[in-house]
Structure 1
Amino acid sequence: MTPLAHAQAQAESSPTWWPPGSLVLRLMLVAMLAVAVSGVLSAWLASRASEREAIRRVVGQQTEEVEVMARLLASKIEQSQKVLRTVAEGITPEMLNSPSSLEWLLRQGLPAVQFFDSMQVARPDGELRVNLHSGRLEDAANLDPAERDALRRTLSGGKPLVSELVGGRTAEARVMFTMPLRREDGPVLGVVAGALKLHSQGLLPPSMTLPARDDSRLIVFTREGTILSHPDPLRLLGNVRDEAGLGPVYARWLQQAQPVAGRGTTVVQPAHIVSMAGMPLPQWLVARVSDSRAMMAPLEGAQRNAWWLAAAVMAASMALLAAFMVWMAQPLERLCHSALQLAHGVRSDAIQWPRATGEVGTLVKVFEGQVQQSAQQHQQRAQLEGQLQAILDNASVGIVITRQGILEVVGRQACQMLGYCDEELHGRPARTLYASDADYQRLGERVQDAFRAHGAFDEDVCFMRKDGSPVWARVQGRGVRADDMAGGTVWILEDMTAAREAQQQQDWAAVHDPLTQLCNRDAFVQRMGVLLAERSARARTPGTATVDAAAAGSEGDGVMLFLDLDHFTVVNDVAGHDAGDDVLRHVARLVESQVRQIGWAARLGGDEFAVVLPGCSLTRGQVVAEQLRAAVQAWEPSYQGRSFTLGVSIGLVVLDASLQDVPSVLYAADMACYDAKRAGRNRVETRHASQAAASGRMPLGPV
């Protein structure tokens, strides 16, 4: 099956659905990538936002928690101080001098004494009056130096104090509260002190750290870093610098020398979230240290579920998007299929163009318009081809069109001249028409030189017929497009075999110019004399005068043109005589091709030419003269890389009855050409015999 038949069969059985093409597939891929990227980016942004929100909530919760714990511990300290103040108010100055009364008061008289684990009372001179431990009196020498120092500082400062941690072991660790005893007029009479064990209910009970959490630790420590409360009992009285997460935060806090404030602060680290708040009076700090990874584990699980859900949604969205794009692309795919059918030669009436709106609808209209325009162009091309074929079949000369050395068009006259049948030479190499490769190569070089110099070719060429016999033809060649020789060349062939054989005769050389192949001056005088004699004979024959007058009125007496090239010497002086001879040959060819059908031409000598147009009217002669002048002016030869501009001065004389001999005709035409030279050159001037006679320059006899 041929491609055309296959395409026709496809057009008759077109499916209702077409798979997407490469463009649609690429668009689908881009759209899916966009959906995937946007989905991943949205999920990532949502995950980051949820993570930041979770951390923000943890930070707020922890900050609030340590602030509450700091206030709670501060209230416990304040409550202990109030209890101690109640005890101090019950001690009178007389009791300081009566140890027994003071002992009775502390054991039985004041219930508030039971709040403390131990109590001490000292006089202003520092003498310890009572040292009561768990309800038992002990010797003053057993008092811890740190406790004794706290009593002295209270006596000297006169202000309540909360001591630092006292005791080197965890079971003995305690905190001492002091309260000055004053008279009513203000002087310090002594000091009373109460101590609470570190983990007593009134200070830091073990239940404060409950419930214990693996992902978080609540720690109370002093400004110096001593741990007072920790979920791990082994860490009590240790240094907070060794705590994971809390150590670096505490070190930076010390470097910044910040005061112990009740307001909480939180630091977020890669692995920990640390919140701290302080108690100004005892200079303690409460810290909550949370493992961020452990706390974010539930969130990460939720995020993983969200990622899977997002992936499922993206997959469903991409599938729906692909299906929608395939559905939307159906008009475009049908349009592509219809365009391919049109390219494969399917009849336009058999193609089913899709009905659509938007861009596809616009393209359909454009394609339909192109189809109509193509049909019109095809019809016009068929008409032009028919006209061209008619010209080729009926032209009196042979016409050949070549491109890149191939015979593309060969007219009937050219085929008959070369001995071939019609269309037999079409598509064959031009080399077929020559006897040898050397002849073809030499002619090609001459053609290139002529095109470079003149933009055209005009010479006699010897071809080889199909039967091997030679045939001479005058060949004129020009480019199909003057500015692009690669576009092809048009050749006009005129059979010159008979003329070439005549040139071989001895008498032909005697009457023709060897350079231009035109008639020489002697032949011109002879032919002009014959023309004038025939006209005189007709005029003397009775009964022909009236006929000749009527013919002269309709056709004219005939005219002669005298041509003299302008600026010809410039070509000889600059480019040399070979270039000058080439110019004369080309001008001779140009003149002969213009007047061959209505007259003849001759070279009178040098750069002077004569053109005789028998039976031509003055008006027609002036038109021909102007055509010759314009043709010479339009030609710009090029030699040795330089272009030259030529012109021609033309003198026109009417061959009326007053001109009876050749010298008179030549003289009148020469004077008309002289008038053209004097008027500025490159122009046509007309003279009648009466004008020459009036000027006194008309010769009376032969010249």
Structure 2
Amino acid sequence: MTVAGVLALALGIGVTATVLMLRAEGETLDAQRRMVLEEASHDALTLSRHVVGQQRALGAAAGQFHPPDLARPDVLQARLAGEHVLSTLFDALFIVDAKGRMLMFRDDAGTRPMSLDVADRPYFIRTLEERRGIISEPVTSRVTGNQVVLLTWPMVHAGAVSGVLVGAITLQRRDLLATVVDPTNTEHPALVIITDAAGKIIAHPTADMRGHSIEADPFLHGAFKRWQEAGSPAELSGIDISDREHLTGVAAVPGTDWLVWRSQDVAGLLAPLRDGRTEATRVAAGVVVVLAVGLAIMLRWLLRPLYRLEKRADRLFDSDIAPDEGWPAATGEVGQLQRVLRRSVRERALIEERNNQVLQQLSSVLAAAPVGIAVTRADQFELVSAHLCQLLDTPQDDLLGQPMQLVFASNEDYFAMAPQLAASFKVSQPYAAEWQLLRRGGQPFWARLSAQPVNPHAPADGIIWTLQDITREVASRTALEWSATHDSLTGLANRTVLEERLARAVSQRPGSMPACVLMFDLDHFKPINDEFGHAAGDAMLRAVSQAAATQVRSVDLLARIGGDEFGVLLEHCPADAAQRVAVAIRDAISELAMPWEGRSLRVGVSIGLAPLTADYTDAAQWLADADQACYGAKAAGRNTVRSHLPAGLAAGGPLGWQQSAQGLRLVAQRTSNTR
């Protein structure tokens, strides 16, 4: 028996080691293959978010341009030179009109006009046809001669494209891999590159490879051919195109025609396992020799009680046998094993009894808790309370085993929550925040989420969540915030908001200049209140608010100060343009005829204008000067515009400015005379 046991042991160890090593190699390759796909997909999503962020920034900047701006090179040059955020995201920026003529160009050398025609470029044609942002394939820049990728955004006004804002990324200068590759991950180094759908390299660890075909890379040449033979699939979750020598995955970048390629060398990956197999074989041989000697000595002594112990061990968890019954009397290792097993059986019985009690208590707590409670592990629901199921309108069986991401109203919210949660646990603090979640039918609601780990030293062991529905609380808070900054009758901003914006403009000089503030007061409004009542007066105030709002830009601030007094902040607006806005507001209100009880009610408006200058020390004086100009307009006969003239501007200056004993003012002469 000893010889047979030794031979069987040696054979078993050898076969087991071989099988386990082969299995370990296979499982390692399978796990690494999945990891390659997951990391390729993750890199693609990360790159997509980076590029989408660039597109959004481009779109936000494009929205600031209006069709008249395209005909003014000075305006284009000033605005393009002021795009500091875009200048950090792109190597060059330029604006083209709807015919493809380049109007203005900005790069490291500065902002300047450029006479080029890009009407034949595919990216420009697609932008006009699809009226959305486009990401081009790598092209050769007609300005620098470098390989670039262009991001476009159309300037759409009144349903037509008036121009296109374009950002250029120079492939030889910017390494797009820096946004997706973790430089600290040296455990399993991999080759990562980015190409377009045709295989042209957009990003590569070797800068000289950018702009060339992927076929020029010897490491991925074969993988690219296999990908083409498979039909050139583009999947967000990644495609496995591995061979015996390389583990390779390719994933599509959402929102672009780009692909992320990730590849690892199989030989380097399996080298530690193969070295371990050789070492394990030597160790196993020594163990077999030692065990053979010990087995020969102890076999006869241990065999008989060991057999009886085996019989009892077969019924180790049999509840019909008491924990201390049926154990053989033995000494040595068998006796020690017998005592250990007996103690284990006793402790297991006690633990089961305690667990049953704890489970009963936990079930009672979950059933009685007035808040939703859940336990998650690996981001999946393992335990949920009845109240949580009620809040989410989802049966318990449909929640258990599902990812927590399923209940969030948006994936962006879920991915934003994860780092906040990790940061709280890192400093041993419970997590609490408000997020919008979804009920089973897709109905969103606001919830307060609180979380803490089951084991503070090992958050991966599980997380305990509590959830409260705070939809009404959020709605009440939002209503209070709105009412604190808006006039309830007209829906316009109130005096507090206007004063805050004026103070900010004064403090940000000279960057906030030019800017003007208008103060206007309704003429003949009191008779409407006296004769027709406050309901008519309120209706007239709403109508005046709507008429005035049609004459200002969306970036301007129109506010009701109180009673029939209104104010307008015109930022980045010179005095002559502000005067035109004031006249337009006056005309719009003067032409307003509100029907009321068979009558047509009308009011006039007196407007005062004050431009922002370096002389103002606070916003109150600026507003007071505009108010004083408004009084001047009323004194001059009402329904007219007067302006407070900045200090130092003499008579005989710009057209429309006059000086009198009452002070300097701007008279809307031509408009007033024609009316």
Q: TM exceeds 0.5? A: no
**Range into which the TM-score falls when normalised by the shorter chain:** 0.3 to 0.5
Q: What is the TM-score of this pair, normalised by structure 2? A: 0.40
Structure whose alpha-carbon radius of gyration is higher: 1
